Amino acid sequence: MYCHYAAERLNNINVLIVEDERALSHALELKLQHEGFTVTVASNGKECLDAFRAQQFDIILLDLIMPLMDGFQLLKQLSKRPRMPAVFVMSSLSQHEDEARVLALGARKFFVKSNTPLTTIVDEVKKAKVLDASDAHAIIKPKV
């Protein structure tokens, strides 16, 4: 079945949600698991870096205002890594400067949480997967 096949493939994709609002991370977690992704939740930047010690993540959904280490600081840390995961920022901030700042730090996209349906975020995550697969393919493809 198509669904089963898709779920199986997405199972290999590790998504990390970094969000301190439990209700919001839970909704995303349910939705992404339903789509077949393997999902881990961290509630601030520090927990995110700890999680990276144990394993690699392909995609990060990142909140900005969080205790201990906020999204901006975390992005700076992540951008120093040899392979930066695809980061989607979802925040309650909506100022132009905030968006410009996270994009400059290497985030792929910026969503204002309250203005974005859950399905839009999930669709972006799915699209990112397809994109990355073709990117990887392009890199691996030997030069003729």
Partner 1 sequence: MLVPIDYRLTLRWPQTTIRVMDKTKGGQPQDIVTTAKRGAERQDFELASAISEDQAHERNRAVAGWTILSSIGDAVFAIDTSLRITLFNPSAQRISGFSESEALGKRYDEVLKFESEKTWHVNNHFIYEALAGRTTIMSNHTVLICKDGRRIPVANSASPINNASDNVEGAIIVFRDVTKEYELDKAKSEFVSVASHQLRAPLSAINWYSEMLLNGDAGTLTEDQREYVTEIFEGNQRMIALVNALLDVSRIEVGKLPNLPEPIDMAELLDSLKKELTPTINDKRLTFVKDIDALPQVTADPKQLRMVIQNLLSNAAKYTPSGGTITISLRIATDADMAKAKLTSTAPHWYFSVQDTGYGIPKTQQSEIFGKLFRADNARLLDVEGTGLGLYIVKEIVEKLEGRVWFDSIESIGTTFYIVLPLRSREAE
Q: Which residues bind partner 1 (CB under 8 A)?
A: 21, 23-24, 27-28, 30-31, 34, 65, 92-97, 112-115, 117-119
Q: Nearer Cβ to partner 1, position 49 or 118?
A: 118
Q: How far is the CB of 55 from partner 1 (least distance, A)?
A: 27
Q: Nearer Cβ to partner 1, position 56 or 94?
A: 94
Structural contact between residues 53 and 40, judged by C-beta atoms closer than 8 angstroms: no
44: left (phi over 0), alpha (psi -120 to 50) or beta: beta
As a whole number of angstroms, the distance between CA 129 and CA 71 comes to 22
Sheet of 14-18, strands arranged across: 38-42, 14-18, 59-62, 86-91, 109-112
Q: Nearer Cβ to partner 1, position 119 or 134?
A: 119
Q: How far is the CB of 72 from partner 1 (least distance, A)?
A: 15
Q: How far is the CB of 24 from partner 1 (least distance, A)?
A: 6
Q: How far is the CB of 32 from partner 1 (least distance, A)?
A: 12
Q: Nearer Cβ to partner 1, position 23 or 138?
A: 23
Residue type at position 140: I
Structural contact between residues 93 and 120, judged by C-beta atoms closer than 8 angstroms: no
